[in-house]
Structure 1
């Protein structure tokens, strides 16, 4: 009898029947929570399993951020259910998508120290998926294998549980039309709510912002990883979908902008009274050297040789110093944007993380330094895909007439590489520029923009017989992968050092004036040991720069460097005004403003953007301002002139990027010859 009861019990447990509505609700909550845990896994670099469960468990401690995540993820899950009308199929898709997303999050976190942001979707849709595959970390195969195992387990679970459910659909009606309309109406309403919610999340005091704030949301927009970790992956991503460009500065009006024009026109007149040259008298070359920086400045690291003796010597004899970078291991386009536009990321709203992808595509006015030159005389070179960071379309807006990349129509040549690296060498990139210079029309001057790729991540032991050795000075040895990455990068930097000197030597042979602005955009994301210490933040955000002119320009580089204002530290938004000072060239009212600001504030960048920028002294969301000794400026304690200059900067940048363009029809951006 007991055996028969047991068998009957088993048959009952395994029997198939219609699941009740409450059963669906319970399973909906379980799958939704599992999806949230999986998504959190990808943004936790330490103890990912514990921290992912702990994120949800915070609810029992009176911290309800996970409820915001539950809402966003749940609505997407609900839409899947309505579209498929199959609860278990939708659950399987939801869990699988969560696994795929978390793997992508992990890969980006390892390589770039930041999470996936909406701007990355433009990058992927531009056809860069093959490039992303080249940037996979060393443990990619293991991670993908584990992800596949998890997907198999969750799929099996959904199949087993779903097999017991005999309901033919979540929404069922005998009339097919009614059933279909009901489902899609529910899906459309849910999508409308989700879109409305997401598109207003970044606006203070909006209904959705108030909603998430009520449940404990505290944006950490200076750091996408910290924001995802603290507030949830979906919440952190969604708040960047419709970013605010800038808050309107106090006192912004047409009259205020007219006063700014008048003020800095007078300043430009005063500056120009002592200047004898024009920027456009020379060909100017801006060189963004990918990841170039001095490894010897990395705390706790020692190399067996100096990898940049030639650039070090160049820096000692011209305008040069350290550039404060907003990026670490990535963020190239932001530094490039600041250098070309003179705008600062410090002034933008934190949710605007990538101007090239979030601002420029929809901008109607994009003033950049190259526009000072004759139309058709602005050239850009980038030995990589043209659609990376939407450069192809953005450069057209900037006024570049030609753009040479690996893609047609203008294909960059030569395309030589070094060792086993797939990236075009700096020597080849410099050769492409030199070949173009030699073809330039006599008597004409040009603006060149070059963004190199040789030292781009990853650093996979490209160079045979690499004699450079890296070691830790902290007592904790470098891991094998970190040591290999550092030594590979250092060898690449040494090649850049020599090729850059050779390039300047070739420019010295030309019988036309040429000036160069050279800068490293950010450090490579290779210093994992140093990055663990918050005290190393500043050192890991300082790259090298110099401004140099060839013999034909008639400029004494040494004298220009000795007399340069606040050159020890800078940020890329000041490059154009520094170039004008170096060349003794006349300035526009805008450049006169930048020159005045740089005399008071040597460098400025936005608030922290990843963990290693642990500026604990700085309130959340406040930008970084350094003096000429590299020390933090407390804006609240700054003199009135500095405060006014910073306020004027916000007015100028707001008008250009988000305001009414009152400056557009003035001579604010023009130089009086």
Structure 2
């Protein structure tokens, strides 16, 4: 009985405690609900610190939205060129070995826009949704453009909006409506949050308050300053971030901006869409020549019109009465010329023999292990990277998209149908698909289309399309028509990296310096040698097949740069020149009257002179522009900007004087040039400035016109 009574008392006590706890919980819940209801019904003004926190939160949200646009767009396309960055964009801030704060740079730039909007509207809950809406629209556009063309939004796209905004719907990818609906849903969530916060904020998001005249005046001045100052910062940053040595460029570099301009999507993922975009808004192209004017350019045109007439008096052929094929052979160069390296056998015997029997020599390259598109640009335009400002590291990304006049040598062959490009890789690399269309090519055949290259065979374990397959695709294009054409061929077989791809590779290499080659270096060199030998055989076979065609054809073949695998040789700066010389030749088939021709001053050259040399080799008449390049090459055999023994970077062109070689391959100092050479160099800068960054006075003359 006592035990039973005790238990009942205990249970009663426990129940009482549970009831009390329950009542307390209900009271707390009721109190919380009452508090929320009270806050909803009786809003309180947000303190300044809370606005600051919310400013940062939404600033980060906008940066995230922009990054999602490029990241989702990239994930929708399978690419070969660059890895996906994803949210390493944020994570690399915490890399203790090499911290990178480009994420914070994006936050800073977005913050400048955000602050200016806040001051313009003076309402936090209006400015914020406007900024978020713009960010979502931009992210959707990024997603669409990357999905369709694997190219990030560029400043040049703004010109498209002006010229062709009515056709925007034609660029929507399949399923675009789902993306748009998702974007609207995301924005709707943000709007709901903004409405709720606006309702519980008694200030209603007003940044500056006050009713008396003096307070209003002070607030107006403060708001104006807070619009002008961030606007000035943002504007000056945009104007100067592409100029080497500027405060904006230094800030971007310190914060971790690492330009990756061979791939605009990778660049936008790696550095943030806004930072990557801003870097291309106002690139510094060249210093304006002091005497640049319409009258000066008329004098230049007249000077070389006269020179062309003199040259043409001794020539019999027309350049465009032949098919010309430019072959940029990826990384092709002579391994046996690398200082401190001994190879067991010749990996280019056929090309060596071809060179002995036609116009040929060594080409000075601006790149080592990279920079292909710059050599390609010089070959197609006749312009020189040596004349550009050191800030302009990639004309294909920084210059060509915004140009209104882009004269290239293929345009001498007339209608776009006569210009064909082939490159067995991604069309988006270096923005080639866009640029080749601008250059006047009717088709640009690549792996990713829209024009897909017909032959895509690989050799053994190599990930790249073979040169033999590329040549076969080229032969098919040549055989499609009896018309004379210009074909631009860019191979990929010998692209880095090199990992023991080929079976039965009996090529070996060893160091002659006393320090053995590293394991990775040796494997790379020996793999590269085998690939070079395969190119050697495929190129000879290609020329044999062209020899059998009953139409005149001339081939300009050149290696763009050495592969960046010679880590031992590259440690010595005295090897710089040797590591920047590749092989080239100009060859004509039997149907051409210039087969076996050897022109003077061919031992050394650079790509900007190839078209003038090809005309001389073919005994072809020239335009005033080609006459100028002919005279320039007589005085300076090769020219490139300063070089470094490391894989091409994109921060800047190296310091120092441009490299000028004489006809014996010896460097020349610009200060030692005679009067005529100085005049030619000054004219070159005038011509290049007029075409790329000036008023295009030469466009309305016959400067580019063949006789």
TM-score relative to the length of structure 1: 0.69
Change (3 A) 1:642 1:176: farther
Match of 1:315 in 2: 355
Q: Which residue of 2 aligns with 1:412?
A: 453
Counterpart contact for 2:587–2:595, Cα < 8 Å:
no
| Residue 637 (structure 1) aligned with residue 660 (structure 2) | no
Alpha-carbon deviations, 1:490-536, whole Å to 9, x = none? 11111000000000111111111100000001111111221122111
Per-residue displacement from partner, 1:579-629 (whole Å, max 9, x unpaired)?
001011100000000000000001111223665899xxx993432111112
Does residue 299 (structure 1) correspond to residue 346 (structure 2)? The answer is no
2:572 aligned residue: 533
Could you tell me whether the CA contact under 8 Å between 2:243 and 2:249 is conserved in 1? no
Secondary structure at the aligned position of 1:604 is classed as strand
Match of 2:661 among 605, 626, 642: 626
C-alpha separation in 1, matches of 2:252 and 2:377: 37
Deviation at 1:81, TM superposition (A): 12
Relative distance call for 1:203 and 1:497 in structure 2 (3 A) is closer
User: What CA distance in whole angstroms lies between the structure 1 residues aligned with 2:284 and 2:292?
Assistant: 17
* Counterpart in the other structure of 1:508: 547
Tell me, yes or no, if the aligned pair for 1:350 and 1:621 is still in contact at 8 Å. Answer: no
Q: Is the 8 A contact 1:280 1:373 kept in 2?
A: yes
Residues 222 and 609 in structure 1, CA contact (< 8 A), matched pair in contact too: no
- Kept in 2, the 8 Å contact 1:222–1:608? The answer is no
Partner Cα separation in structure 1 for residue 253 and residue 392 of structure 2: 22
Find the aligned partners of 1:411 and 1:191 in 2 and give their Cα distance. Answer: 47
Give, in whole Å, the separation in 2 of the partners of 1:80 and 1:332. 37
1:608-656 Cα offsets, whole Å, 9 max, x none, are: 3665899xxx993432111112221110111011111000000001111
Cα 1:203–1:522 shift into 2, 3 Å: closer
Which residue of the partner structure matches residue 395 of structure 1? 436
Q: Could you say what secondary structure the match of 1:551 adopts?
A: coil
Contact 2:297 2:686 in 1 (8 A): yes
Deviation of residue 409 (structure 1)?
A: 3.7
SS at match of 2:697: coil
In structure 2, the CA distance between the partners of 1:366 and 1:213, relative to structure 1 (3 Å rule), is: closer
Are 1:323 and 1:570, in contact at CA under 8 Å, matched by a contact in 2?
yes
**Mapping for residues 6-405 of structure 1, pairs under 5 Å:** 49=97, 75=108, 127=150, 176=201, 192=231, 195-201=234-240, 209=246, 242-375=282-415, 376-405=417-446
Contact 1:625 1:634 in 2 (8 A): yes
Unaligned runs of 5+ in 1: 1-19, 29-34, 43-47, 56-65, 84-121, 130-171, 225-232
CA distance in 1, matches of 2:293, 2:329: 39
Cα distance, 1:202–1:437 mapped onto 2, change above 3 Å: same
Counterpart of 1:61 in structure 2 is none
Q: 2 CA distance for matches of 1:216 and 1:509?
A: 55
User: Would the alpha carbon gap of residues 551 and 80 (structure 1) be closer, same or farther in structure 2, given more than 3 Å must change?
Assistant: same
Q: Secondary structure at the match of 2:555?
A: strand
Give 1:276 deviation, angstroms. 0.5
How many residue pairs were aligned? Answer: 526
Secondary structure (helix, strand or coil) at the match of 2:314 reads coil
- Structure 1 Cα separation of the partners of residues 450 and 279 of structure 2: 37
5+ long unaligned stretches in structure 2: 1-47, 57-87, 118-144, 153-196, 209-222, 262-270
Partners of 1:299 and 1:536 within 8 A in 2: yes
Are 2:643 and 1:580 equivalent residues in the alignment? no
1:647 aligns with 2:688: no
480 and 377 in structure 1: CA distance in 2 versus 1, 3 angstrom threshold: same
Larger radius of gyration: 2
Tell me if structure 2 keeps the 8 A contact 1:123–1:390: no
Partner of 1:656: 691
CA 1:248–1:504 in structure 2 vs 1: closer, same or farther (change >3 Å)? same
The answer on 1:468 being equivalent to 2:507 is yes
Deviation at 1:407, TM superposition (A): 2.7
* Residue 199 to residue 78, structure 1, CA distance change in 2 (3 Å): closer
Does residue 426 of the first structure (1) align with residue 467 of the second (2)?
Answer: yes
Deviations 1:244-296, CA, capped at 9 Å, x for gaps: 11111110011101101110000000000000011111111000001111111
State whether structure 2 residue 550 is matched by structure 1 residue 522: no
Task: Give the aligned partner of residue 567 of structure 1.
Answer: 602
Cα deviations by residue, 1:172-222 (Å, 9 ceiling, x for unpaired)? 999548586769x999989745532422325889xx9468899999xxx99
**Cross-structure match for 2:477:** 436
Distance, in Å, in 1 between the alignment partners of 2:113 and 2:303 is 58
Report the counterpart of residue 516 of structure 2 in structure 1: 477
Residues 466 and 193 of structure 1: CA distance in aligned 2, closer, same or farther (over 3 Å): farther
Aligned-pair CA distance for 1:76 = 5.5
Q: Tell me which residue corresponds to 1:139.
A: none
* Cα-Cα RMSD: 4.3
1:580–1:587 Cα contact (<8 Å) kept:
yes
Residue 422 of structure 1: how far off its partner (Å): 1.9
User: Secondary structure of the residue that 1:266 maps to in structure 2?
Assistant: helix
Name the counterpart of 1:668.
703
Distance 1:270-1:389 versus aligned 2 partners, 3 A rule: same
Q: Does structure 1 retain, via aligned residues, the 8 Å contact 2:425–2:447?
A: yes
Post-superposition shift, 1:242?
A: 2.9
Q: Residues 405 and 411 of structure 1 are in contact (CA less than 8 Å); yes or no, is this contact kept in structure 2?
A: yes
- Following superposition, the deviation at residue 126 of structure 1 comes to 5.1
Contact 1:72 1:194 in 2 (8 A): no
The change in CA–CA distance for 1:407 and 1:72 in structure 2 (over 3 A counts) is closer
TM-score (norm 2): 0.66
More deviation, 293-302/191-200: 191-200
State the SS of the aligned residue for 1:285.
strand
Q: Does structure 2 retain, via aligned residues, the 8 Å contact 1:533–1:612? A: no
Conserved? CA contact 1:519–1:546, under 8 Å: yes
User: What secondary structure sits across from 2:517 in the alignment?
Assistant: coil
Secondary structure at the aligned position of 2:451 is classed as coil
Identify the residue that residue 10 of structure 1 maps to in structure 2: none
